[in-house]
Amino acid sequence: MKDDRDYSYNEIETFELVQKYEELIRQNKSFFFDVLEFEAIINYYLDNEELANASESIRVAIGMHPYSSEIQLLKAELFITEKKYSDALVILDFLEQIHAEKSEVLFLKGQAFFNMNNFIKADENFAKSIEACTEEKSELVYRISSIYFVEEELNTAIRYLLEAHRLDPNHFATLFDLAYSFEKINEIEKSYYYYNKLLDLYPFTQNVWYNLGIVLTKQGKFDEAIEAYDYCIAIDPEYNSAYHNKANTLASIERYKEATSVFQELILLEPENPRIYCSLGECYEKTEKFEQALEMYNKTISIDPAFAEAYYGIGIIMNERKQPNLALDFIKKSIALESEQYDFWLGLGKVYYELNNIEEALKAYREATILNPDEPDAYLALAEIYLYQEKFRDVECMFDELGPKFEGNASMKVLNAAALYLSHRRKEALDELKVAKRIDPTSIDDFFSIVSVINDDDFVNQTKQL
């Protein structure tokens, strides 16, 4: 639908006109509206997605103004909205020959072809529409970009957005969509650039500060991200998502005390949100305030008895309190509720291992690797068990199968080196340790915490020279 129509009526006047029209229809009275008035009425219905009313008002309008190309154009727009693309194109092909505003006709043709997945013809008609446009060209280009943007054809959307930006460098929606689109295609630096450009022009726009916070988090600039969320909250103290993101960012960088304060603020805004209580419980858990953590996890469950993470959190605390059997019950409950959570299976494996139930621990860790093959922790846990079982070849085979996936993980190199050394393959072990030390200089110490090297001073000296 056209975003910037040339009304002669403001919003209130249009609403009053529609009410007058509907009252005359209800009373079945004779009346007359000119083309401009019908355009306002029909556009009102189209913009509010009242398609039956739009269709009826078009029928009435054509009865009064059978030769109006403006009403026919709106009929074509209705057909596009109703997915009657062939019917729309019949009208638009005719209007292309006679209508004064060819640009709008060609735009609608492009939209129809786009919705029919005929992207070549869509692009052709959009290009002709831009060429034919004599005024407000930047707005037209932005409208075209929006068609691609809504359907997440972001690379094409960006092409049109950049042109719209060239024509009107200060247009808010163009800059916002550019920043958002670049973020979505993971061109984070460009996204950062356009959000900052927006803030130079519109510094008190809370959702821009919020989105900038997300981009800064992706860049690893956590302090700046938190500052961006603070600006968002300062502009709009009830922008709940900013509190969520700020708290989660603080928790992710282990600033649990500050995260706790933000989650407590959030409780005032969303007192029945179980997610907040659970996250607050996790902050207390991480700072070993177990009683408060349990209180928050139980509060979570009282609001939502099926909130799996709360049961898991209780299980972790029970395990920390050396009550592994209780821990097992709670973690199993969490898995019964959400069976595809990687962390739950990882935690289950740890508890089984501490209960010396090695086979069940192995099963849990293997399930975790299936659920998330790109996370290293479950593989590391498996390798440690294989070492404990003296299955050194299994360690080597597992790491060989993983190939270069975790090439930059020093812990995996250390465990592989341990298996190689214990298999009496000292040179290969040293090669692995050399790579591990390059990744993390403390990894040699990790090796000696795993392997007791007795009466092998030569090997110890060689590790010192790595």
Distances (CA, A) of 300 to 36, 281, 304, 312: 57, 9, 6, 12
Instruction: Say if residues 212 and 224 touch (Cβ distance below 8 Å).
Output: no
Phi, psi for 219 (deg, rounded to 5)? -80, -5
Using the CB atoms, write b or e for 142-161: b if 16+ within 10 Å. Answer: bbbbbbbbeeebbebbbbbb
For 406-452, give the secondary structure using H, E and C: HCCCHHHHHHHHHHHHHCCCHHHHHHHHHHHHHHCCCHHHHHHHHCC
Q: How many other β-carbons are positioned within 10 Å of the β-carbon of residue 25? A: 14
- My answer on whether 129 and 28 are in the same domain is yes
Residue 311 lies inside a defined structural domain of this protein: yes
Same domain, 278 and 350: yes
Same domain? 403 vs 352 = no
Final residue of a structural domain among 133, 155, 181 = 133
**Burial of 356: CB neighbours in 10 Å, binned 0-12, 13-18, 19+:** exposed
Q: What local confidence, expressed as pLDDT, does residue 2 receive?
A: 42
Looking up residue 391, the CATH number of its domain turns out to be 1.25.40.10
Average the pLDDT over 399-403 and give the result. Answer: 90
Query: Domain check: are 49 and 115 in the same one?
Result: yes
Whole-number pLDDT of residue 305: 97
Does the residue 302 lie in any domain? Answer: yes
Q: Average pLDDT over the chain, rounded to whole? A: 94
| Residue 455 pLDDT | 87
Tell whether 292 and 418 lie within a shared domain.
no
Tokens of 295: 């209180």
pLDDT digits (tens, 9 = 90+) for 5-15: 444 678 899 99
Domain assignment present for residue 240? The answer is no
**Are both 12 and 129 inside the same structural domain?**
yes
Residues 98 and 8 in one domain: yes
Please state the rounded mean pLDDT for residues 401-421: 93
Whether 161 is covered by a domain: the verdict is no
Residues 104, 2: contact at Cβ < 8 Å? yes
Which of 79, 112, 133 is a domain's end point? 133
Q: Do 356 and 410 lie in a common domain? A: no
Q: Return all residues near 36 (Cβ < 8 A) that are at least 6 apart.
A: 8
Helices (H), 99-118: 102-115
Confidence of residue 135 (pLDDT cuts 50, 70, 90): confident
Answer whether residue 229 is part of any domain.
no
- Flag whether 420 is in a domain: yes
Q: What is the mean pLDDT of residues 322-350?
A: 97
**437 contact partners, CB below 8 Å, separation of at least 6:** 410, 443, 444, 466
Per the structure, the count of domains in the chain is 3
**Dihedral (CA of 224, 227, 233, 235) sign:** negative
Q: What is the pLDDT of residue 100?
A: 72
The CA distance from 92 to 81, in Å, is: 14
Burial of residue 216 (number of CB atoms within 10 Å: 0-12, 13-18, 19+): buried
Q: Are residues 317 and 336 in the same domain?
A: yes
pLDDT tier, 1 (very low <50, low <70, confident <90, very high otherwise): very low
Q: Which pLDDT value is given to residue 278? A: 98
Domain identity same for 5 and 100: yes
In degrees, rounded to 5, the angle at the alpha carbon of residue 131 between the alpha carbons of residues 164 and 139 is 30
DSSP string, 157-181: HHHHHHHHHHH-TT-HHHHHHHHHH
* pLDDT one-digit tens code per residue, 424-435: 999 999 999 999
The dihedral over CA atoms of 353, 356, 358, 361, expressed in degrees to the nearest 10, equals -30
- Domain extent, residue 443, equals 376-466
Q: What percent of the chain has pLDDT over 90?
A: 92
Kindly state the tokens that stand for 414: 């250390």
Domain contains 424? yes
The residue from 109, 133, 157 where one domain ends is: 133
pLDDT tens-digit readout, 11-51: 899 999 999 999 999 998 889 999 999 999 999 999 999 99
Average pLDDT (388-417) is: 93
Q: Are residues 462 and 440 in the same domain?
A: yes
Residue 3's pLDDT band (cuts 50, 70, 90): very low
Please tell me what DSSP assigns to residue 100.
S
In a domain, 441, yes or no: yes
Per-residue model confidence as pLDDT tens digits over 56-108: 999 999 999 999 999 999 999 999 999 999 999 999 999 998 877 799 999 99
